[in-house]
Amino acid sequence: MEQRISDLHAQLKITDAQSTQWDAFAQTMRDNAMKTAQAFHDRAQKLSSMNADEAMKSYAQLAQNHADNMQKLSSAWSALYAVLSADQKQTADAMYRNQSAKRHGAPHKHKAGAPASAASSG
């Protein structure tokens, strides 16, 4: 996670003036990753003793946790995006377009040197 955060910071060329919003976004990424890892670990520990109904409910809880984490990340991202320069926004837009294309299997084109990936919620 720290490498992903560092890479994103460098790609976006975050300035000192943007550090408050950046720090909040990065911390949300860390918190989400930690909560997700713990939830998957907890489920894995219990899965062998769960019946089908309990397993389905635990999977639904993982999905809900993911949705909650994405809402938190989206809010933190909006605050950061609002303080980005026009050039930084252009970089961010390209990063997220490319990331979305990869997730959905669509072919994507990008200029040489353009970032090929961006942060996700983990």
**Higher per-residue confidence, 67 vs 117:** 67
pLDDT at 31 over 90: yes
pLDDT at 55 over 90: yes
pLDDT at 57: 95
Cβ neighbours around 23 below 10 Å, total: 13
pLDDT at 108: 45
**Higher per-residue confidence, 112 vs 72:** 72
pTM of the predicted model as reported, rounded to 2 decimal places: 0.77
How far apart CA 46 and CA 44 sit, in angstroms, is 5
pLDDT at 4: 94
Domain ranges of the chain: 2-84
How far apart CA 106 and CA 122 sit, in angstroms, is 21
Averaged pLDDT, 87-109: 78
Show the 3-state SS of 4-73: HHHHHHHHHCCCHHHHHHHHHHHHHHHHHHHHHHHHHHHHHHHHCCCCHHHHHHHHHHHHHHHHHHHHHH
pLDDT at 103 over 50: yes
pLDDT at 106: 54
Can you say whether the dihedral through the CA atoms of 32, 121, 37, 64 is positive or negative?
positive
pLDDT at 45 over 90: yes
Do residues 120 and 8 touch, judged by C-beta distance below 8 A?
A: no
